[in-house]
Amino acid sequence: MRALRALLILPLFALLLTGCWDRIEINDLAIVTAAGFDLTDDQKIKLSIQIYTPTDSSGGGSPEQSQGGGPKIGNKKALIESAVGVNTADAESKLQELLSRKLFWGQADVFIISSRLAEHGISDPMDFLSRHPHPRERANLFVSKGSADEILQWQPSIERNSAEMLREMTVLHDSLNMTLLDVIVMLADEAHAAVIPWVSIKPSGNRDSPFIGGTASFKNLKMNAMFDERKSRGMLWLRNEIRQATLTTSLKDQPGLISVQLADSHCWIKPEMVDGRLGIKIKVEGTGSLIENTTSADVAKPEVIKPLQKQYEKAVVERIKRTVTAAKQANTDILGFANQFHRHYPSQWREMKPAWDTLFPTIPVRYEAHITIMRTGLVGKNVNHTKDIQEGGKR
């Protein structure tokens, strides 16, 4: 009797097992690794995608194999497909019509918006990327000087494709790392402003290559200014994204240079309200190690280190000040000042907000920096200094 009951119940459990009825094999997917957005002459969206093309890694005398038998890296050109639509979603649907596989956006690491589209407005691609369920929120966002598909078409010698190269450059280099989520958050903040790194093709050695040369500022979803690398450097300090920085300076009446490498730094932005007047205080603290000294100064002595630290503090302030000045000239609060006033003075902010575009360029900023040199190396004085060698020879 029990066996009969079990036989009657088991089919009921089978109805609850859904299995893999909706599975899609990886061979049926067109995996998007990067995408570019351009604006056509008739004000339509041109969507270009970079599709992953796997290479044969089995080895066996294929011409795509290296001499050692292993697969080459960067030897197979990435597949680029483009389509034009009235908006991004329409362009994507037309792209799908060109492919025999289903588009999959879950592996896209880089999104590039052309400067022409950025000046016109990025509401269309940003809405698509933030609303579509597949694109990664942690994907890197760039603005291209020129067309976006030109960057996608570029084939590196080392990495598999240009998207992978851009992602690695952002991690390794001292450049702003802005993800899709970062830009969405900044645009939703009080100032409705954001900053995105720009990339261009630059001559390098025997061939041209992508180069992250600065940042582009956005206000109300439109690009209104582009800053070079010098003016963009301070953003790294203000956003606490300085992973490693080398500061080089000279001492008064001392030929040669001294360099220190910062290992730890932090920046605070504090709003001030004195007698009803607005103000901002930017404070930076950092510690580092002295890594090179080509002067005759003995850096082991406190009387040498103290003025040297002052020089580095001045250099840090100058870098931040350049960025603040550039943002004020563009009248775009990419620095987060509005958020700080809203957070610390909410009642006053309600009165300030309607006139923020007028107030922001006039806000006085105070700077305070403290740089501490923790290590000076095994020697205090440069034993290879020319003057010391000459004096030693006379003795």
pLDDT of residue 143: 96
* Burial letters 220-229, b for 16+ CB under 10 A, else e: ebebebbbee
pTM: 0.82
Q: What would you report as the CA-atom Rg of the chain, rounded to the nearest whole angstrom?
A: 28
pLDDT of residue 174: 67
CA–centroid distance for 184 within its chain: 14
| Side chain identity, residue 284 | V
Task: Please indicate whether residue 3 or residue 337 has the higher confidence score (pLDDT).
Answer: 337
Residue 324 in contact with residue 234, Cβ under 8 Å? yes
pLDDT range class, residue 121, cuts 50, 70, 90: very high
Q: Which run of H or of E encompasses 370?
A: strand 365-375
- pLDDT, one tens digit per residue, over 341-391 is 999 999 989 998 999 999 999 999 999 999 998 888 766 666 665 554 444
Please say if the pLDDT value at position 295 is more than 90. Answer: no
